[in-house]
Amino acid sequence: MRDVNREFSLGELAVRFGLELRGDPALRVSHVATLSGAMPGSLSFLANSRARKHLSASHATAIVLSAGDAEACPAAALIGANPHLSFARIATLLHPQPTATPGVHPSAVVADTARIASSASVGPFCVIEAGAQVGERVELGAGCTVLAGARIGADSRLMPRVTLYAAVQIGQRCIVHTGAVIGADGFGFAPDEGTWVKVPQVGSVRIGDDVEIGANTTVDRGAIEDTVIEDGVKLDNQIQVGHNVVIGAHTAIAACTGISGSTVIGRRCMIGGMVGFAGHLTIADDVSVTGCSLVSASIRHSGSYSSGMPTVETRAWRRMVAHLRRFGEKER
């Protein structure tokens, strides 16, 4: 993937991204690299203390970093206040995503009443049902299934094998990775003398703009009203979002987290991996939850919350569990 796609001079990059350049503006970079993997032509970056040990020996042509690290930079320095952000933007320029050719692959099955923008690209073996809408410049990878009445906003990109159930709405500039399932039935059953009767899930899913959804993530449709994912939310892989959950704008959630039905998560939250949320909770804006925690009650104030228990040697762990169990005995 380290294709040399394009080349840019450091002078050009400094101007375009508002960075201070210490070095020769005529030098050119063609690709990104880690500090330790860099070679001539590489652009690298330093954005956290963990990587600083690799700085002095880097063979990069240029390194994006903060002013405080510029002194120690062995290459041309592109200096900015947010090196990770500047790096992200330069990397997007150096490694542009290939874009698909507009048009509907002849193998795709498209209902007469579906509306596909002429600038959209629909891959092989896609199925687009009645009343579905596919916006301008949308890309559907191979094998995507867009059920009746689902809508996809302009410039969104579905990787191969994404399924949108009926009436699901996806905003603009979203990215949805392979295997994601948006709008499957929520888990709703009424008990009936030891058996379960299915409660029809008649809500849908509304996903805002600039949302990214990871591979094999599932977002269930609402029971009555809709499940909602607001603008700018980033969901990693294998996340489960239950029916009628609301995830506030610009919240980021790491892989394998599960959110039970009707829980409302605030804006700009950062949720670690494999976190479990009980249902019907309200989580404030700007809450962080560290990985492997169980959120079983609402969180009213922004801040950092945890309950993941870190590993110790199994023998020590057994002693800890034995002690803990004593606390479970009834008070006498």
Per rule CB under 8 A, is residue 95 in the interface with a copy of itself?
Answer: yes
In terms of CB distance, is 67 or 294 closer to a copy of itself? 294
243 is catalytic: yes
- Asked if residues 274 and 295 have their Cβ atoms less than 8 Å apart, the reply is no
Two structure tokens written together for 267: 């804006």
- Asked if residues 236 and 215 have their Cβ atoms less than 8 Å apart, the reply is no
Per rule CB under 8 A, is residue 156 in the interface with a copy of itself?
Answer: no
For residue 194, count other CB atoms closer than 10 A to its CB: 5
The binder of a copy of itself chosen from 49, 97, 101, 118 (CB under 8 A) = 97
In terms of CB distance, is 24 or 53 closer to a copy of itself? 53
Per rule CB under 8 A, is residue 178 in the interface with a copy of itself?
Answer: yes
Q: How far apart are CA 71 and CA 304, in angstroms?
A: 34
- Closest contact distance (angstroms) between CB of 237 and a copy of itself is 5
**Residue 12 vs residues 20, 34, 75: alpha-carbon distances, Å:** 11, 21, 17
The binder of a copy of itself chosen from 175, 228, 247, 271 (CB under 8 A) = 175
Catalytic residue among 31, 95, 105, 243: 243
- Asked if residues 249 and 268 have their Cβ atoms less than 8 Å apart, the reply is yes
State whether the Cα torsion 34-37-38-42 is positive or negative. Answer: negative
Per rule CB under 8 A, is residue 39 in the interface with a copy of itself?
Answer: no
* Terminal Cα-to-Cα distance of the chain (whole angstroms): 67
- Closest contact distance (angstroms) between CB of 155 and a copy of itself is 13
Q: How many CA atoms lie within 13 A of 191 on its CB side?
A: 2
Mask 110-149, x = binds a copy of itself (CB under 8 A)? Answer: -------------xxx-x-------------xxx-x-xxx
Mask 237-276, x = binds a copy of itself (CB under 8 A)? Answer: xx-x-x-------x-x-xxx-x-x-------x----xx-x
- Closest contact distance (angstroms) between CB of 262 and a copy of itself is 9
197-226 binders of a copy of itself (CB under 8 A): 197-200, 202-204, 210, 212, 214-216, 218, 220-221, 224-225
276-305 binders of a copy of itself (CB under 8 A): 276, 278, 280, 288-297, 299, 303-305
- Closest contact distance (angstroms) between CB of 39 and a copy of itself is 13
Per rule CB under 8 A, is residue 80 in the interface with a copy of itself?
Answer: no
**Residue 104 vs residues 56, 124, 140, 142, 252: alpha-carbon distances, Å:** 51, 8, 9, 11, 33
- Asked if residues 314 and 298 have their Cβ atoms less than 8 Å apart, the reply is no
- Closest contact distance (angstroms) between CB of 117 and a copy of itself is 21
Identify which range of 11-19, 20-28, 66-74, 82-90 contacts a copy of itself by CB under 8 A.
82-90
Q: How far apart are CA 251 and CA 271, in angstroms?
A: 8
User: Residue 45 forms beta bridges with which residues?
Assistant: 64
Residues classed as catalytic = 243
